[in-house]
Structure 1
Amino acid sequence: MTQTDPALSPRLSIVVPVKNEAGNVESLVTEIERACSGLSPFEVIYVDDGSTDATGAVLADLRRTRPWLRVVRHARSGGQSAAIRSGVAVARGAIVATLDGDGQNDPAFIPALVAALEEGGRGTGLAQGQRVGRKDGRLKTMQSRIANGVRGRILKDSTRDTGCGMKVFRREVYRALPYFDALHRFMPALVAREGYRVVHADVVDRPRFTGRSNYGLFDRLWVGLLDLAGVWWLIRRKRPSPEAVEIAPVTTGGEA
C-alpha cells in the first residue's frame, strides 16, 4: 500500500486554504506530492474558501488521479482562519501541516518541520516556520516586521514570524485552542498557553506563482491591535487545569 490508498489512516494531513487560486493549484499539488513522498501515507485537504474562479474545477480534475487529495468548499468566503479550521476539522492525521495556497510557501520544508515536531516529543505542540528572504513588497514586509515586533514584546512568544503559513502541529493541540478570526497568526502564544513547547525552523520565502493575494493584511492597525489585546487577555486569564481522574464504579460480588 502507498500514500495513494485512501483507506490508510494518514500519518500527516496537509491543509491548504485557497481563494481564487486556479492558476496556482496544480503546481503546488505536484510539489506537495513530491516533497511529502517520504511521509506517506498522507492526505492533502484543499479548502476552497468561496472561490469565484476555476479553482474548484482544477481541484476536481486533479482528484481523478490523486485519491489522497480531498476538497472542502465554503459556500462563501470566511477568511483564512476559517478555512484552516474547516480543514483541521475533517483531517484524519494526528499531525497537521498548513501552508498558503499561492506558492510562496515551499512544501520542501514540510518534512523538516514534521521531524522537528516529532523529535520534540508529546510535549511539543507546534513547529513554526519563519520566513527568510521575504518576497512580499517593501510596504507589506515593513508592516509585518512592525506587527511581529509589537506582538513579540507583548506576548513574549519567542517567535520572529508568526504570519508564516507553514506550520506543523498536533491536531489535538489545535482543537484545544480558542477559535477566533486570525487565530493562525497567534498560534505560538496560544499553544504555549496550553503548556506545549513551540519549536522553530527557517523556511525560504518565494514569490507567489501567479495572481495576487486574496486575503487582507493582518497588519491593518485596528484589527491587529484588537486581536493582540484579546490574546493577551486570554493568556493572563489562563489557570492551571486540574488533573481529572474518573472514579471506577463500585462492583459487588455475585450471590453465593
Structure 2
Amino acid sequence: MHAPRLTVVVPVFNEQDNIAPLVGEIVAALRGRAAGDGGNFEIVYVDDHSGDGTLPALQRLKAEVPELRVLRHAIQSGQSTAIRTGVRAARGAWIATLDGDGQNDPADIPKLLAMRARSPADVKLFAGWRVDRRDSGSKRWASKWANAIRARMLHDDTPDTGCGTKLFERAAFLDLPYFDHMHRYLPALMQRAGWKTVSVPVNHRHRATGVSKYNNLGRALVGISDLRGVAWLIRRGKVTAVEEVD
C-alpha cells in the first residue's frame, strides 16, 4: 500500500460521543474522492489523555476503519501539542486538521484541497474561515474582539485563526517555532517563515454532544501573553533567499 498523501489530524479530549460520527464523516468525505490525492489518506486521532470513553471508542473503530490510527498522550498536554504529535506521526505530505467536537465539517476538506490545487506553490496554509459561527453570543463576541486585536498586532490578514479546519504542508509546519497555543497563530507564523496563506469560507456547526473545554476569560488571559510573544517573534524573524552556487 502506498503511503498516504493526506493525513487528517484530529486532537481530542473527552469527546467519546463525537468520535464515531466524526470519523464516519471524514471517511465519507475523503474515501475514494480526496481531490488531488486520489482518495489516498489516513486519519490520525490524538487522545490528549481523556478521562472518559474516548480511547475505547477509537480502539473499537480501528477494526472498521483501516485508515484510522490512534495516538495517546501519557499526560494531558493541550491542543497545540496534540496537533503537533499528530503532524509528527503523519505519513502524508499535507495535513488537514479538524477539531474533535464535530463543529468543523469534514466535507470542507475537499474544498481546501481544490483551493490548493489552483494556488501557487508558495501558499502553504489554507485556513478555514467560519463566516457563519454557530457558537453562543458571548463566544462570538469574544472571538470578534480577539481577532481584531490579533490582526492589529500581527497584521496577518486572516479573519479567523481559531477555526480548526485547516490544510497545510507538513514540512512547513514542522519548521515553525513550537509553543503552547501555537495553533491559534498559524497564519502569522507561516507568513513569518516566508510562506503565503489563504482564508477559505467553511461550514460551522452546533456542538451536538459534550461541552466546550474553554472559557472566554481563560482564553483571553492566555491570549495576551501569546500575542506579545508572537509579535516579538515576527519582529525578530528574518527570511533570506538562498541560492546554490556552482
Partner of 2:232: 233
Partner of 1:33: 27
Partner of 2:201: 202
Quick check: 2:130–2:201 contact (8 Å CA) kept in 1?
Answer: yes
1:49 to 1:210, Cα distance in 2 relative to 1, 3 A:
same
Shift of 1:245: 3.8
Quick check: 1:11–1:42 contact (8 Å CA) kept in 2?
Answer: yes
In structure 1, the residue corresponding to 2:190 is in which secondary structure?
A: helix
Partner of 2:16: 22
Shift of 1:233: 0.7
In structure 1, the residue corresponding to 2:205 is in which secondary structure?
A: coil
Partner of 1:220: 219
In structure 2, the residue corresponding to 1:78 is in which secondary structure?
A: coil
Gaps in structure 2 of 5+ consecutive residues: none
Partner of 1:152: 151
Shift of 1:221: 2.9
* Alignment RMSD: 1.5
Partner of 2:77: 78
Q: 4+ residue runs of structure 1 moved beyond 2 angstroms?
A: 214-222, 244-247
2:221 aligned partner, one-letter code: W
1:219 to 1:152, Cα distance in 2 relative to 1, 3 A:
farther
Matches of 2:6 and 2:245 in 1, distance apart? 32
1:1-256 to 2 correspondence within 5 Å? Answer: 7-37=1-31, 38-39=33-34, 40-217=39-216, 220-241=219-240, 243=242, 245=244
Matches of 1:95 and 1:65 in 2, distance apart? 24
1:29 to 1:120, Cα distance in 2 relative to 1, 3 A:
same
Quick check: 2:127–2:198 contact (8 Å CA) kept in 1?
Answer: yes
Matches of 2:19 and 2:105 in 1, distance apart? 13
Quick check: 2:194–2:239 contact (8 Å CA) kept in 1?
Answer: no
Quick check: 1:79–1:215 contact (8 Å CA) kept in 2?
Answer: no
Moved more, 141-150 or 217-226: 217-226
Aligned length: 241
Quick check: 1:218–1:224 contact (8 Å CA) kept in 2?
Answer: no
In structure 2, the residue corresponding to 1:14 is in which secondary structure?
A: strand
Matches of 1:118 and 1:236 in 2, distance apart? 32
Matches of 1:136 and 1:72 in 2, distance apart? 29
In structure 2, the residue corresponding to 1:150 is in which secondary structure?
A: helix
Instruction: Write out per-residue CA displacement over residues 170-228 of structure 1, whole angstroms, 9 at most, x where no aligned residue.
Output: 00110111001111100001101111110111112101120101245586333111100
Quick check: 1:144–1:219 contact (8 Å CA) kept in 2?
Answer: no
**TM-score after normalising by structure 1:** 0.90
1:101 to 1:32, Cα distance in 2 relative to 1, 3 A:
same
Structure of higher CA gyration radius: 1
Partner of 1:254: none
Matches of 1:218 and 1:152 in 2, distance apart? 20
| Aligned sequence identity (%) | 48
Shift of 1:71: 0.4
Shift of 1:153: 1.1
1:216 to 1:94, Cα distance in 2 relative to 1, 3 A:
farther
